[in-house]
Structure 1
């Protein structure tokens, strides 16, 4: 039963069967609108051959979305009291996400970051309140909580200042300032936890990241579905369209399979000190999955001749995110799991290289065929990994029997 008010203290890191709460799942749903807006805007930029203008906006806006989700997730893993004050402050953060989502089209269209900054401000103020409450009620973690609250507030003030100063600066300067402030955001946990880490739950964190991965894959499904609906409505459905739809679904299924092969919870439990690299580095995994959704939408649109770029560029809008995903998974999980990494580095890296080479055939193959080939590469990575797992299991069984 939820109590009106309870004392906020660290959760037990050894708590059995720790799982995402209904409130966390509801919180995640608010990010669906924000991610959908980013994916849609990136797809429009690719379709109109304005990728150079769309990409910086994509990376900046997606960082704001991802970082807001990440900071809530790690705080909740350590301090989720699930009482009335906690729920109300979480609702306030959810409202900030929706304001941020409303500002995505303006950010891509003319660089107007007003609504995004306001939404981000709302989320950060609520998080500061959570950390101040933790400082007041958890004596053990008070100094860490106060450092978090102070640093978040300081960096948030810089974001607000950028909103006013950036109106008079060139685009390149705005991007540079954003990069500096993003680096400041990334430094907050490193600075706040330099004398001891908050007591987050490793398996809970692994589950939360997995759920966000599923949300991103769901956005890819939604983006492709919207494109499919427009083609069917226009009566342009062909055999190539059916092949693309089937290949796209199989590709998303393969990406899901690859992600959940690695035992993230076990790695985080054994090597908590490497959680920063793993947690922060997921930006590239998540951004790649969001970009994949945009690429699939562009691919569907290209079949109805609504895209203004050539077939090779369309193929790369899918191949590059898939390759980045494969490489990022190795970069993040090899330090965390060591030799216990399920997918071998050579398997992922060779697969990524082949995926990047496939779009070179787009001029002689249909677009749907290139997507099918990319999907088959991902399937081959899974097949090789499963066979290697069986071999290792068999060898371990023989070794155990011999002993």
Structure 2
């Protein structure tokens, strides 16, 4: 059994065999619900012809979800004691995420962020409680933990006050608070850089990538189930197959880059890599929406045009492939995905929806999947040639 109470001290950044804990995996399950809720709302908006109106609430709510996971993950990498209080405070944060997820439909439909904000408050209280334990127990990192607790508390008060502002101040206040949230780690680490573990962080980000891709698999499954009510068709098989191949190729591309190498050797650049993952994860979540909409178009008459349906998939996929190179280029000596091939693939993918009148929405989805697979093949062949060159070069 775990200790009833342990001292909260910063963990060693070189601790061997540091892995994701069962508690972290349980914590991630709440984000399955939250991400699924956001994806479902975006999918519905595209189907009924409100794609452009849904982009802003999607990005806003997804930031809240991502930042909640982000802060827990980095602070857990530094202060995870896994004693009883830590587990209870983590459970409190899980409850906050579930409340946040329940408020997603209201945020999309009416711009009402009250439930999202309350859920965010609950999870932040659990996080602050853990930080205050570190302030009490760990003299070496007391100043850093104290700054995190104070900064998070002040920004959280801002989120609550935002609910009282007129609607026309909604976007301005949101952006201001996002900047404040992103600034807290910069300010806190000036006391002493947070002692996160590179192997642990790389694994946690990999698992969240799989979580987001898993939402895409769920979206496709739901769409196929509904489409089967009208009978199995070749178009349905092709659309769902293309979606699976696309998701698998994106997974392969993400894990082809050894992120831990960059996090370990270029630790000072972690914030660029970290913050950039917001856009990467949002795009990956939107990929699931694009695949689901493409599958639904087989048996349903969508109110969005073929061009919009095509871009609901092509745009997030292009963003993903570009970010896979961009986020890792400053971190590792050689990115496994060649830069030129990445840019060409992104341009081709972005151009494909214009051919929707010829290819159809299913044809666009297949073409997007093919372009992504070609990029993967180029990356694999380039990596093989580099390896052969290193082996043949003189010592």
TM-score by length of 1: 0.96
The answer to whether residue 284 in structure 2 is matched with residue 289 in structure 1 is yes
- TM-superposed CA distance for 1:174, in Å, is 0.8
| 1:374-403 deviation digits (Å, cap 9, x = unpaired) | 11111111111111111111111111xx34
**SS of the residue 1:365 aligns to:** helix
- Please point out which of 337, 343, 347 is paired with 2:341: 347
Distance 2:101 2:391 in 1: 52
2:324 and 2:387 map into 1 onto residues whose CA distance is: 23
Task: Give CA-to-partner distance per residue, 1:286-313, whole Å, 9 cap, x none.
Answer: 0001111111121122111241112121
Is the aligned partner of 1:364 residue 2:362?
A: no
Q: Deviations along 1:118-172, whole A, 9 cap, x unmatched?
A: 000001111111111111101000001111111111000010000122xx322xx
Deviation at 1:52, TM superposition (A): 2.2
CA contact (8 A) 2:338 2:382 kept: no
Q: 2:178 aligns with which of 164, 179, 182?
A: 182
Distance 1:313 1:102 in 2: 28
Provide the aligned length of Structure 1 versus Structure 2. 395
Measure the CA separation in 1 of the matches of 2:363 and 2:167. Answer: 45
Select which of 203, 206, 214 maps to 2:202.
206
How far has the Cα of 1:112 moved from its partner? Answer: 1.2
Question: How far off is 1:117 after superposition?
Answer: 0.5
State which of 169, 172, 190 in structure 1 corresponds to 2:167. Answer: 169
1:385 aligns with 2:379: yes
2:61 is aligned to 61
CA distance in 1, matches of 2:302, 2:212: 23
In the alignment, structure 1 residue 150 sits paired with structure 2 residue 150: yes
Cα drift, residue 7 of structure 1: 0.8
Rounded to whole Å, the distance in 2 between the matches of 1:306 and 1:176 is 37
User: Matches of 1:196 and 1:381 in 2, distance apart?
Assistant: 41
| Residue equivalent to 2:242 | 247
1:215-256 deviation per Cα after TM superposition (whole angstroms, max 9, x unaligned): 100000111111110010233x32111111111000000000
Assess if the C-alpha contact under 8 Å between 1:74 and 1:200 holds in 2: yes
Matches of 1:268 and 1:336, distance apart in 2: 7
SS at match of 1:303: coil
Question: Which residues in structure 2 correspond to 1:112-131 (within 5 Å)?
Answer: 112-131=112-131
Conservation of the 8 A alpha-carbon contact between 2:294 and 2:365: no
Higher mean Cα deviation, 69-78 or 349-358?
Answer: 349-358
- The match for 1:86 is 86
The superposition leaves residues 53-87 of structure 1 with CA deviations (integer Å, 9 ceiling, x where unpaired) of 21111011000000000000000000100000000
Q: Measure the CA separation in 2 of the matches of 1:5 and 1:347.
A: 53
Distance 2:244 2:52 in 1: 28
Distance in 1 (alpha carbons) for counterparts of 2:251 and 2:3: 37
Distance 2:241 2:253 in 1: 18
Runs of 4+ in 1 over 2 A off after TM superposition: none
* 1:203-225, Cα deviation, whole Å (9 max, x unpaired): 10000001000010000011111
Asked if the contact 2:291/2:365 (under 8 Å) is kept, the reply is: no
**How far apart, CA to CA, are the structure 2 residues paired with 1:177 and 1:198?**
28
What is the RMSD of the two structures over their aligned residues, measured on CA atoms? 1.0
